[in-house]
Every structure is written in structure tokens, then in C-alpha cells.
A and B are shown apart, each in its own frame.
Chain A
Amino acid sequence: MEKENAVMDTEPAGQGAAAPVTETLVASGTAAAIRKKKPINRAKLQDNLWGWAFVALLVIGTTLFVYVAFILTLILSFTNYEGQALFKYFGSKQFGSFMNDALFWYKYMFRAESGSGWANAGDMVNFWGTLGNSVFYLIGIPIGMILSVGIAVCMSRDIKFTNTFRVIYYIPTVASVVSISLVWNRLFDIDGAINSILGSNVNWLGGEATIRKITILILTTWKGLGGSVILFVAGMNGVNASYHEAAEIDGANAWHIFWRITLPQLYPTIFYVLVTSVINGMQIYVEPELIYGSFSDPGVGVAVTPFVGYIMNVVSDQYYAYGCALSVMLAIIIFIFTLVEFGLDARRDKA
């Protein structure tokens, strides 16, 4: 279909420059095509025009706010940009690399030695520390998935009030993260409600770094549970009921049915949830920021701040170029994570 149209589009130009093979092939159809040519071309033109008109704004927006922005980020990461007016900066004499080394900031983030001043101090500790925190917060994903598959199994049973439960589990997901964080700060206080309910005496917010990070993990898992529960319930409804019946007739028990039938059929949903939550999880920023404060606050720093929090701190210290370099690293890291996931998926498909 498309080939035919392509041929018709080139025909009116009348150059006859098309490869001889195609010409002979189409020759028989040409006579008919010429007669029909006009109306078809007009409809085709309409399609093309309106198609592009409808997608124009979206494409322009994506180009401007995503691609151009990313290319600028990439360019600025090789420079000494410090937050001057952007367009003036590109034309000015200041435009250039930091200390005559285009890769300065990329080397800088892996440098270990410490000196005096920002430019001399090594940054490896901060880079790996905050990146490690971001990865630590990913632990919530498998925990959340196991919990939500369990809850989804419960919900897809033949019980009452399923809809009510679904709505209740989804409430935290729609709630404002700022409100929730403000509340979390009080709930997990050492004299707060959680300690009095559990009868424990854990210093959730001020104790060891690991415990403080676990507090964040509890928050993110709690907040994200509802979304994946709904996706899993939908996935389970899609599982073919006849497989269940067949397995039951063959004498399989519920446990086997879950592992051998439900779970494999749920795999696409699980994969989707995994990919999206790893991408979103690596961008975690708001919760630690609101509960513990920013990177430069005392006692926060490498202990709990995630990677994005570190980028924001670098920017607020006016090291825009370095912030850009870290942003590029973030994009690359997330891209690699996604690639690895898809690679594992492809290997599973083969097996």
C-alpha cells in the first residue's frame, strides 16, 4: 500500500528517473493510476497535512523541552557555565571549557583526592554515595511487587467489596507528597504514633543512616503500592480462566496454579511495573528532601540524599555546568538500567 503511494507521488513529477526495474514492474498499473491519480493524491495530501497538523504541537513540545534541552545540557556539561543569562553566555567570551579541559566535570566526579576549594576537591565520595542511596531506595521495588501481587491475588478472589478495597489502596498514590512527607515526619518521630503503636523505641528519623533510609523505603512502598495492585488485578483478570479450570480438573492445587499459570501469564504486567518503577525510582528526590532536608544540611549529605538531591544541591551552589554533567550521567545510568532489563527480558523470551 505504502509503496504504491510512494510511486504515485513520484509519478506526477514526470522525471522518469526511477530505477528501470521499478518502472517495468509498475508499468502495467500506471495507466489505471493516472486516471485515479488526482482524487487519491488530494485525499493523501489531506491525510498528510492534517496528520502533521494534529501532532505538530506535541512534536514541537518534545523537540523543544526534551531534545533541545538535553542537547544543551550535554553542551553545557563541557563548559564553565555558572548560571549566566543563557543566550548571552553562548555569544560571550566566557563561553569555553572549564580550565581548558572539556571533560573536566566528568573527570571531577570520579576524583578522589581532596584539596582546597570546589574545583580542587575530589567528588567521588559524594557521587558514589548519593548514587548508592538512590539504588538503595530501589529495594522498595521488589518488596512492593511481592506485597502487591499478594494483595492482587486476594482481590481477584471471589469476594465482596473488591472495588472499595481498590479505591482505598489507591488513595496514597493520589495524595500530595508534600502533605504525606510532613505527616511522616511526625508519625515516625521517636515519641510519635508509629513507635507507640508498635511499642518500639526506634529512632526512625534521627538514628543510623540505614534506619533513616528504611523510613523513606516504607514511605515510598506505602505510597506506590496501590498503583501496582491495580495493574496486577487487571493483569489477573486478563489471565484466561479456562487454564485455571483445566489445571483444576487435572488436580493441581491453588499453590501450583499460582506458580505455574497465574504468575507466568502475569509476566508482561510484572515486567511493565518493574521497568517503570526502576525508571521512576532512580529519579527519587522529593521524599528524602522533605523529610531530612537538602544535601548541604547537617547530618543529611551522603547519608540519605539521593542522586537527584545531589544534583539540585550542586545547582543551588551555582555550579550549573557540573549539575549538567551529573544530569547527563543520570540519564545514562537510567538508560543502562532499562537496557539491562530489556536484555534480561529478551533472554527469557529465547529460553
Chain B
Amino acid sequence: MTNVENEAIVPAAKKVNPVYRALCKFGSFFGFGSKLYGSNKRRKKIFFDVITYVILVVGALTMVYPFWWMLVASVNGSTVDTLQTVFWPKSLIEGGIFENYARVIEKFDAFEGANYWRIVLNTVIYSVVPVVVGVIVSAAAAFAFAKIDFKGKNIAFFYCMFGIMIPFPALIIVQYCLYSAFNWTTNGLAMIIPGCFGSVMTAFFIRQYLYSLPTSIMEAAKIDGAGYWRIFWLFIIPLGMPAIMAQGILSFMGAWNNYLAPEMFIRTEEWYHMSIALSNLEGRISSDPDYNMAQIIAASVLALIPVLVLFGIFQKTIIGSIMLTGSKE
């Protein structure tokens, strides 16, 4: 590449269309080569860098704008102001920024036998117990699939993998009927027990990760007399921690944001999941004298905070784990 900057290659004496010449000159300013001008790598890179940043920044603003809107809309003093909020709150409710939050927390009392903290506790139970137990169960299965040579391993593996072909909405009716026959729908057990059996996708991703671990450690432990049970707890869990952690957090978020299953499986308000409470909240409180749409927005912000905080803390693990799946496929 010739590094001629803004300099004509073709002598000026030769006749060229002036419009074409101007276009080429314009192009050469950004480093593009043409018949009349040489290209300039450095300028070209700067040009494309600027375009890249513009695209990425515009995209990033689109991604965060709704969240920003939630924050600023949640402090408004009236429904109309909330609706018309664009970048900055139209009005501020009397009593300070957190007034709407405080009021909406009280309004969760509208649910029979529950209040805000009860619903938060329910949701925490639904998204911690099945996820912790389920991820350990999945990790155990992943360990067996990746490292133990047992009879019928492939059959068991494909048996499980074929199960994910059946979509969840197609199973939900019968699952609901089963759980209500077991009496699980009135006490939240329907959200807990099925999750404790692990998830095939989680097991699959952990298995992919465990494959990359060396088998020699396990062999050595075996020679020293350790059984598979001890190998699992002493080696596989700590060594597979990055994958287990990432899958655990992703499942936690999935359970926290779940809507379809709790809508179907929880029939008592006392045991409501946050998603269901939030989606029913507006209908319950919209006739209150001090109702203000900003309160609904405040409740949405409150429901978002735990996952966003978790994501903020573990973003490296989570994104790393997703990238690993991407490069493996």
C-alpha cells in the first residue's frame, strides 16, 4: 500500500471529470484509495473506528433507555406526568424520591394473606432452593456423562437430550393437573420440587465444561482410594465451579423472571411469585384514591433490582460461560 496522503497519483494535467475528482478527494480524506488518490490505512482505521463507536453507542443507548425511563418515571407525582416522561421526570411526588416505592410496598397488602416481603420471600425460595439443588443434581449427572464410563451412558444421555425437544408449554396442562393431584399447587411446592430434579440443558453445558478438565486428576484420586462420591465433591465441584456458577446464576435469573409456570402452578395469593403479583398489581390498586401510575413503575424497578445486581456482580462469569457455548457449537 502506498502511503500517499491526499496527493494526486494521476498528474493534474490529465482530464478527469471534476465531480469524480471531488468525490475521490472526499474519499481520500477518510483514507479510501481510488484511481486518483492512494489509500491511507491509518485514516481509514480512524474512519471505521468512529463509525463503530457511533453504532455501538447508539445501540447501547437504546438498550439502556427503557431502564433509565423506569428510574425517572418512578418518581413522578401523577399518572399523566408518568406517561409523558421522556428523559427527565415531569414532576416530583411530595415526600421525596422514594415516596412511590414506599407506598407501593404497602400496597402489596392487597393480596390476600401476603404482603410485599412475603412475596419477595416466596420468590427467593422459588429461585434459590430448586436452583441450588437442581444445579448440584445436574452437575452430578454432567460428571457421570463426562467422566464415568458406565453401561448405557449414551442411551441415558440421548434419552435426556431428546426430552428437551418437547416444548414446555405443551406439558404445562398435564403438569398442572399432576401437581394439583399431588396437592402442590396451593403451597408453592409445584415451583420447588420439579426444579430439584435438575435440568438437562444445565447438565449439558456443565458436561461440555467438564470435558475440558484433565482426567488424570481423577485417575490419581482413584488410585489413592477415593470413591466417585468423594471425587465429585472434592474435585469436580471446585474445578467445575466456573461453569456451575454461571449455570446456577442463569437458572436463578430464569426462575426469578419466570412467568408462565408460576401463573399456572400457584393458586393461592399467599404463595404468589413476584411476576404474578406484579402483573396483577395494577388491577388491584388502580381504584385506590392515591393511585399513581408511577407506583407500578416503582414496583417494576424493585422487581428488577435483584437480577441486575447479580448480573452486575457476576457479569464476567456469565458472559464468559455464554461465549464458551458459542465457541463450542
Contact = CB atoms under 8 A, between A and B. Distances in A.
Given A169-B63, A222-B63, A268-B329, A282 B144 contact: no
Interface in A44-78: 46-52, 54-55, 57-62, 64-67, 69-70, 72-73, 76
Contacts of A57: 137, 140-141, 196-198
B307 to A, nearest CB: 5
A196 interface: yes
Interface of A: 46-52, 54-55, 57-62, 64-67, 69-70, 72-73, 76, 83, 85-87, 150-151, 154-155, 157, 159, 165-172, 174-184, 186-187, 189, 191-193, 196-197, 222, 225-227, 230-235, 237-238, 268-269, 272, 279, 282-283, 285-286, 290, 308, 311-312, 315, 320, 323-324, 327-328, 330-331, 334-335, 338
Interface string B155-196: 010011001011111111111111011000000000000101
B173 A61 contact: no
A86 B259 contact: no
Interface of B: 48-49, 52-53, 55-56, 59-60, 62-64, 66-67, 69-70, 73, 82-86, 137-138, 140-141, 143-145, 148-153, 156, 159-160, 163, 165-178, 180-181, 194, 196-198, 200, 203, 227-229, 232, 253, 256-257, 259-260, 264, 274-275, 278-279, 282, 293, 296-297, 300-301, 303-304, 307-308, 311, 315, 318-319, 322-327, 329
Contacts of B322: 227, 230-231, 234
A179 B278 contact: yes
Contacts of B194: 61, 65
Closest 10 pairs (CB-CB, A-B):
A61-B197, A51-B150, A234-B326, A54-B144, A179-B300, A234-B323, A231-B326, A327-B170, A58-B141, A50-B228
Given A66-B163, A69-B171, A324-B173, A55 B197 contact: no
A40 to B, nearest CB: 12
A54 B257 contact: no
Contacts of A50: 144, 148, 150, 227-229
Given A170-B311, A176-B278, 10 more contacts: A57-B197, A61-B198, A66-B163, A73-B174, A171-B311, A175-B257, A230-B322, A324-B173, A334-B165, A335-B165
Contacts of B197: 57-58, 60-62, 64-65
B326 A157 contact: no
B228 A170 contact: no
Contact of A178 (B156, B196, B278): B278
A85 B239 CA distance: 47
B83 A285 contact: no
A179 B170 contact: no
A46 to B, nearest CB: 7
Contacts of A237: 323, 327
Contacts, number: 282
B178 A66 contact: no
A187 B284 CA distance: 22
B141 A55 contact: yes
A226 B227 CA distance: 42
B278 A193 contact: no
B275 A176 contact: yes
A225 B145 CA distance: 32
B49 A176 contact: no
A326 B69 CA distance: 39
